Amino acid sequence: MRLVQTTIQFPIWVHRIWQVGFVLLLVLSTSFSQDNYPRVFPEQRAIKIRSPESLPRYDIYSESFSAHAPETVTRATRQRINNGDTTFVAPRLLSLDEAIQIALENSEVVRILGGLSAASSGRTIYDAAISNTSVDINQAAFDPDLFFNNNFSKTETPFADLNNLAFGLSPISGTTNNGYNMAFGLNKQSIHGTTGSLSMNTIKSMFRPGVFVLDPRVTSTLDLSVTQPLLRGADTEANLTPIIVARINTERSFFQYKNSVQNLVRGVIEAYWQLVVARVNVWVRNQQFERGEFDTARITNRVERELDNEATAAQSKVATLNFKSNLISAQATQLQRESALRNLLGLAPEDGTEIVPTSNLATDQLPMNWQDLLTLAESNRPDIIELKLVIEADEQLFRQSQNQSLPSMDAVAQYRWNGLAGELPNLSNVSSGFGQFTDWTLGVNFSVPLGLRQARAGVRQQQLIIARDKANLKQGLHAVVHDLATTIRNLDQNYSLYQIFKDAREEALFNLERQYRDYLGGRSIYLNVLLAITDWGNAVSSEASTLAQYNIALSELERASGTILESHGIRFVEERFAAVGPSGSWAEPIFYPYANPSTPNEPRYNDSGKMSESQFELQNIDYGPNSQRRKQ
């Protein structure tokens, strides 16, 4: 019976320990639960969607996102100013230089123009800085590693022994070892592949019960070990590859950001000039509509006096309605163009004012040198620079793969000082002297996979990647040449068309005056007058559109040659967070967009101080008795 009781006592304690451990694990597992989540995590067999109301709320009606309802062609929401008999919207005079500066100030996320809207380019001012942190992450591999381990322990080892007084029984007894273990050391890897380690280990043991030679007993070791690769891992450049590639990736991130900023500036210029064209087009369509209303009233009066027929009056009314529909479409386009510009500038879609461009379009033809353009594009375009950096990173990785394809052969050396101290049964202390007991090891370790298949495949793969990326660079340069050629053709085409439509506008106005006079004299029908009004309006709109397209093509040429930022005086300045300095996280953070505000540059564009469309000498149609052309 005693034997049975002895054999079943230990499993009962094991069972109790398991129960206590289970409770502890349950407490630990539930202590990390978060709000809005169950405190026990069963198997996830269904999609759990939280209510949108539980998510954080952000105030969209902030300074950047105005609460003003947008202006439409039928609903007026902007501030109106009365000036005598005239009511007009409160203007916000804006030069192109100012527009570019506003866009850059509000470009934490860089936007690009897309038709009548703007969208995120996916690039932010933080990308290059984020990428730059990977340099230190990879450099940390060569930082010394300090470790210190301090452990106290108690070990009880049960064992069975024969009892001479009661043969056949085996009582359970045990030995207790109260221990203390301390390990302290330093590990370091160098750029040459050398790894060194210096460590000290101390173990103190106290045994109970019984008599032992040394109790307590202290063993200690001091280890110095060095490993130097002779083949794989011995190339300094290959060991530095992760750092070099990280730096190259930071450069790539910067040039990707620069390319997006180039597109932003190019988009602001296009949106600005397109708004000027839209405003000219509104003026033209308004002139046509007012002329249609005037002619309809006059023709109606002539019909009443039997000087004209009702068919002509009906034709005039239909034409006037068409002019009105064209005016509404032009007004809607102007609002959309202004909205696109506001989007690019980071402004609210509506603030109660009307953006009025004040910069003048360039009217002089730009002389060009084809070879100089090619040289500028090859050395300045961010996308070409990025392709060059990709190849540079490929070459670094190729060198690393070559080194990794070598067999592993390391020279190893180790020297150890061993020590022992303790207390004898007679309570006297003994200890070994320093350097009395030592170990040393010298040798060479060699290993190589037979055939080196994986390593050779890695080298071959990297060679193919280099060939591919060189082909991509060649294609990129090929595309640059065609891009520049297309831009030059567009420049020449739009400038030539501008000259034609400028002359056509004068002739169209002259034709309109003559056709109207012939109609009043009964020598022509009113349909010819309507055609003349349409031709005049198209000529004015085309003149403004082609000149704007010419100026847009000028900015596109600067973008295609990679010089648009430099030509506009735009430079990049790296700003730092205070938290990365000596004060660490105790310092107040300095955030990028606010630390160094942008400063004005020398004006690039001629700011007339008045509406840009006034450059086209927009004067109301006057082909009546007071017409100056008629008097000529």
Whether residues 560 and 484 fall in one domain:
yes
What pLDDT was estimated at residue 352? 83
Whether residues 218 and 262 fall in one domain:
no
Whether residues 273 and 293 fall in one domain:
yes
What pLDDT was estimated at residue 536? 92
- Per-residue pLDDT tens digits for 16-70: 666 677 667 666 555 554 444 555 567 888 888 888 888 888 776 555 556 678 8
Whether residues 223 and 258 fall in one domain:
no
What pLDDT was estimated at residue 586? 61
Whether residues 354 and 434 fall in one domain:
no
What pLDDT was estimated at residue 516? 87
What pLDDT was estimated at residue 74? 81
Check: CB of residue 362 under 8 Å from CB of residue 549.
Answer: no
What pLDDT was estimated at residue 65? 56
Decide if pLDDT at 489 tops 90.
yes
What pLDDT was estimated at residue 9? 43
Assigned domain for 555 exists: yes
| pLDDT mean over 524-551 | 92
Whether residues 304 and 344 fall in one domain:
yes
pLDDT band at 388 (very low <50, low <70, confident <90, very high): very high
What pLDDT was estimated at residue 4? 35
Q: What are phi and psi of 448, to 5 degrees?
A: -155, 130
Assigned domain for 370 exists: yes
Where is average pLDDT lowest: 239-253, 333-347, 422-436, 446-460? 422-436
Decide if pLDDT at 628 tops 50.
no
Assigned domain for 336 exists: yes
Biggest CA-to-CA distance, the chain: 150
Assigned domain for 237 exists: no
Assigned domain for 206 exists: yes
Distances (CA, A) of 325 to 4, 90, 210, 318, 535: 106, 25, 110, 11, 17
What pLDDT was estimated at residue 41? 65
What pLDDT was estimated at residue 30? 56
Instruction: Please say whether the dihedral angle defined by the alpha carbons of residues 345, 349, 352 and 358, taken in this order, is positive or negative.
Output: positive
pLDDT band at 629 (very low <50, low <70, confident <90, very high): very low
Decide if pLDDT at 600 tops 90.
no
Residue 497, domain CATH: 1.20.1600.10
Whether residues 313 and 415 fall in one domain:
no
Instruction: Tell me which residue range forms the domain holding 541.
Output: 92-131+243-388+465-568+591-631
| pLDDT mean over 523-528 | 87
Where is average pLDDT lowest: 229-233, 244-248, 546-550, 590-594? 590-594
Amino acid at 466: I
| pLDDT mean over 68-84 | 75
Whether residues 367 and 507 fall in one domain:
yes
pLDDT band at 616 (very low <50, low <70, confident <90, very high): confident
pLDDT band at 632 (very low <50, low <70, confident <90, very high): very low
As a whole number of angstroms, the distance between CA 507 and CA 110 comes to 45
- Per-residue pLDDT tens digits for 320-341: 999 999 999 999 999 999 999 9
| pLDDT mean over 539-553 | 94
Decide if pLDDT at 351 tops 60.
yes
Number of domains in the chain: 2
Decide if pLDDT at 426 tops 60.
yes
**Average pLDDT in the chain:** 84
Distances (CA, A) of 349 to 69, 120, 270, 333, 391: 8, 16, 18, 15, 43
- Per-residue pLDDT tens digits for 239-287: 999 999 999 999 999 999 999 999 999 999 999 999 999 999 999 999 9
Assigned domain for 62 exists: no
Whether residues 619 and 550 fall in one domain:
yes
Whether residues 201 and 334 fall in one domain:
no
- Per-residue pLDDT tens digits for 605-615: 888 888 888 88
Check: CB of residue 350 under 8 Å from CB of residue 71.
Answer: yes
Q: What are phi and psi of 388, to 5 degrees?
A: -65, -40
- Per-residue pLDDT tens digits for 192-233: 999 999 999 999 988 888 777 888 889 999 999 999 999 999
| pLDDT mean over 132-160 | 89
What pLDDT was estimated at residue 79? 74
Whether residues 286 and 435 fall in one domain:
no
Assigned domain for 160 exists: no
Distances (CA, A) of 3 to 16, 168, 169, 170: 21, 10, 8, 9
Whether residues 216 and 327 fall in one domain:
no
Assigned domain for 15 exists: no
Instruction: Establish how many alpha carbons lie within 13 A of residue 459's alpha carbon, considering only the half-sphere containing its beta carbon.
Output: 10
For residue 71, the 8-state DSSP code is P
| pLDDT mean over 166-180 | 74
Look up residue 86 and give its two tokens.
Answer: 């005239």
Instruction: Establish how many alpha carbons lie within 13 A of residue 594's alpha carbon, considering only the half-sphere containing its beta carbon.
Output: 5
